Structure 1
C-alpha cells in the first residue's frame, strides 16, 4: 500500500479549467483540465461541456498549468531554539505555504525534540489536510534514537498513514547526537523494514552539517550493508563546495540528494540553482535531485568555538524564488525544473498521485502567468489562492468558453 494523502473532503463537482498550456511536467499539448472529485479526470484540447451540465468553467487562457510544488523539508510547527527559548521559530500557516505554490508538504522536527513533539507535528499535518492541501511527516528529529509516536519507528510507519519516513537525523554536525555507524545502520534498516510492511518507501532523511565527515557515513552504509543507497536522502548538500562534490558522488552511485533553497549563514554555501546546475554538469541525472525550503527552521551562525553569534529563520518563499531562477537558466527545460519540486520528490517518498498532471492524479496544480509568477493555486481540485472568477455553470459561461 503506497503512502496515502491526508484526509479531507475534496470537491465532488465537475470543474473545467481552460489555460494556455498544460505541463505534466512534460509538455502535453493540452489546454484543458477536467477535474472531478479532487482528481484530474481529463487532459486534452478544446473540451466543451455538454449544454446544461453542472460544470464550473474557469477561463485562464493566457496561463500555464504546472504541477503543484512538493516541499519535502518543512518545519511546520517551527524549528530553532539553539539560542534558548526566545529563538524558537514560529509555526507555519496555510497562507505561507500556498503563497509559495506548495500544495504538498512533509513536516519534520529538528534540533529540539524536547519542547517540540511528533504528536503536535501530526496534529499540524492533519490540520493542513483539513484545510485543503496534502501533508505528511517524518518521525524523529536530530537525535538517535529518534523520538516516535508509538515507541517504534517501524510501528509509526505501519500504523500512522501520514508518516512517510524518519528524519531529519543529523550527521556531521556538532548539534547531532554523534551516532555510531552501528546506530545509523540499525535505524536505516528499521525504516526500510517498516516501509516494506506498510507499502511505503520508509526513507531516512538526513540533515548534513558542515563537519568534516560530510556524506561519508551514508556512503559507508551503502557499501557495508545490503541496504540500497536509495533508502537514504541527505539534505543541505549545497552547504559548501566540499559537501556538494560529495553529493555528486552520492548521486552518481544511485542516491537522491536534496538541495536547500537559501544561502547558509557561513558564506560558503552554493545557491540552489547553481548547485543543481553544477551537479547536472557533472553527470548527475535530474531525477536524482530534489529542492526543498527548510522553511521555519533556524539558520544559526556559530563562531569557531561553537558559540551562537547570529540567527535567521528560513522562509518557504525561497523555494519558489530559487525554482524560478533555475527554470530561467539557459539550457534548463521547464520539465526538468518542475521535476525537482514535484515528480522527483513524489517518486522518492512514494507519494502516489502527486507531482504530475494526468488523469487519475490528484488535482494539485498552479496556474502561472507568462512571467512565471503565481496566478492561482489549486489543491485536490479546489482553488486555494488567487484571483478566481465566480462559479458559473457551463450554460452560463458558454460565451466565455467559445
Structure 2
C-alpha cells in the first residue's frame, strides 16, 4: 500500500470503530475492521483522542472568483476548506463575474481556478431568465446542477426566475435529468414585509418572514410535481416547511433539502443589534425554530448540512452603521462547519456517524459523486483527522479565508481538525493539488 492508516476510531458506512485503511494510487483499497497487518510504504497511526473521518463535501460555497476575488478566491477558499476537513467543494454560479450561466463563463471560471485549488472543486450552473437554451450545454460540460433564485439574488447580473421561468427551467432540466437547486423565498411576501433598514435584528428578522420561505417552497414542490424535475431546497431556515417537504416526498416528488451550521448554532434572541456579521438570507430564526431544524435532521427530512459560505469584505458588512438593511447578507464559515455542527450535535445525542452522513456522504450522493464522502474501498482517499473532545475559541484573524469576518468569532467550539488528506496526500496549504471536477467523473 502507498499509505496505511491505523485508527482506533474511524467513521465508515458500517459505523464507528477501529479500522486499518490502505490506500493505493489515491484511492481507498482496503478498509479492514480492527488492526491488521497491512504493509505500507507509509504508515500513520492516529492518537487515542483522534477519529478518522471521510473528507467533508460542501456543496454550497461562494468563491466569488473571478470578478469579486477581494471577497474570496479559489486559493483562500480551498485552504480554508482543507483547514476545516473539507476535501471537496461545489462553487455557486453567482457573485463571480461573469456568472456561470453559459459555457463560456464556465470556461473562464475553470481557467481562473486551474492550478490554484487545494481541494477538489466542482461547479454549479445558473438558471436565469433567458438562458434556458444554455442549460443543456452547461450540463454536458459537467456542472452538477443549476441554481436559481425566486427573488433578487443580491447581485443584478444573476436575476431571479418568475413562476413561468421556474416551470420552464424545470421542464428543460427534467428532459435530461438535471437537478435545480433553489433559493426559496417568495418575492411578493418579502416586498410586503416591513422595511429591513436599521440596527435592530428583530426588524431585520421581520423583513424576511417564515411565510416567504414557506410559500416559495410550496411553489417549488408543486412545480416539481408537475414537471417531474429534481429539486433541492437550499439553506432551509424555516422549520414550518418541514411538514410540507416530508409530505411531498411521500407523494413521490423528487425533493431534497439542506440546512446550514449557522441555523443550527445561533438563535435570533442572542444576536445583538448592529451585529451584521450574523446577517444572512434567509435569516437566523428563534431558538424554538432551531430545535425543530435539529428534529428535522433526526427525522431524515433534512439530509444535508452545508456551509453556504458567502463571504465579503469587512466594508460590505457595514460595521460602521450596523444597518442590517445595508449590510451584505452572508456568513463565512467554510473552515468551521464541522466543529460548529459537532458542538451542537453532541449536546443533543447525535454521533459522529450522524455528522458524517449530513456533511460528507449525503452531500456527495445528492450531486452524484460516487467516489466521495465515504471511507470505503473504491472511494478517493480523502479524509481528515478530527479530535472531537478538544475545544478552542474561534479567532477570526487566524482563519484561512480571505477576510477576517465571521459570526463565529470568539465562539467556543468542540472538535479540532488536526489534518486533512486528499487522495492519500496531506494538504499543507503549499502546492495546490486539488482537481477541477466534472459531473459523472467523480
TM-score, normalising length from structure 2? Answer: 0.67
Of 130, 136, 139, 2:122 maps to 136
* Deviation for aligned residue 1:41: 0.9
Deviates more, 1:210-219 or 1:131-140: 210-219
Farther off after superposition, 64-73 or 109-118:
109-118
Which runs of 5 or more structure 2 residues have no equivalent in the other structure?
A: 190-211, 250-254, 267-277, 390-414, 430-442
User: How far 1:276 moved relative to its partner?
Assistant: 6.6
What's the counterpart of residue 289 of structure 1? 303
Whether the 8 Å CA contact 1:79–1:90 is kept in 2: the answer is no
**Alignment RMSD, CA only?**
3.6
Q: Give runs of aligned pairs for residues 1-400 of structure 1, distance below 5 A.
A: 14-44=2-32, 45-50=34-39, 55-62=41-48, 63-78=50-65, 89-93=71-75, 94-111=78-95, 114=98, 117-124=105-112, 126-127=114-115, 131=117, 133-140=119-126, 143-146=128-131, 152-158=134-140, 160-161=141-142, 163-167=143-147, 169-173=148-152, 175=154, 177-194=159-176, 196=177, 202-209=178-185, 211=187, 212=189, 213-224=212-223, 225-228=225-228, 231-238=230-237, 243-254=238-249, 255-262=255-262, 264-265=278-279, 269-270=284-285, 277-281=291-295, 285-286=299-300, 288-298=302-312, 308-309=326-327, 314-371=332-389, 372-385=415-428
SS at match of 1:279: helix
Distance 1:110 1:347 in 2: 23
Return the alpha-carbon distance in structure 2 between the equivalents of residues 17 and 73 of structure 1: 30
Correspondence for 2:436: none
- 2:374 & 2:344 partners in 1: Cα distance? 19
User: TM-score under structure 1 normalisation?
Assistant: 0.73
Q: Deviations over 1:234-279 (max 9, x none)?
A: 22322xxxx33124522442232221333641795148x9867523
Whole-angstrom CA distance in 2 between matches of 1:278 and 1:26: 28
Deviation by residue 1:5-46 (Cα, 9 ceiling, x = unmatched): xxxxxxxx6210111112115525332111111111111122
What is the SS of the residue equivalent to 2:144? strand
Structure 1 unmatched ranges of 5 or more: 1-12, 82-86, 197-201, 387-402
CA distance in 2 between counterparts of 1:138 and 1:365 reads 24
Give 1:88 deviation, angstroms. Answer: 5.6
CA contact (8 A) 1:132 1:380 kept: no
Counterpart CA distance in 2 for 1:174 and 1:58 is 46
2:65/2:112 contact within 8 Å kept: no
Q: 1:377 aligns to what SS in structure 2? A: strand
| C-alpha distance 36-252 of structure 1, shift in aligned 2 (>3 A) | farther
Range 181-190 or range 116-125, more displaced: 116-125
Higher share of residues assigned helix: 2
Alpha-carbon distance in structure 2 between the residues aligned to 1:253 and 1:30 = 40
Q: What secondary structure sits across from 1:341 in the alignment?
A: helix
Checking the alignment, whether the CA contact within 8 Å between 2:371 and 2:379 is kept in structure 1 is yes
1:313 Cα deviation from its structure 2 partner: 5.8
Q: Secondary structure in 1 aligned to 2:124?
A: strand
**Once the 2 structures are TM-superposed, how far is the Cα of residue 216 of structure 1 from its aligned partner?**
3.1
Q: Is the alpha carbon distance of 1:337 and 1:370 closer, same or farther for their aligned partners in structure 2, counting shifts above 3 Å?
A: closer
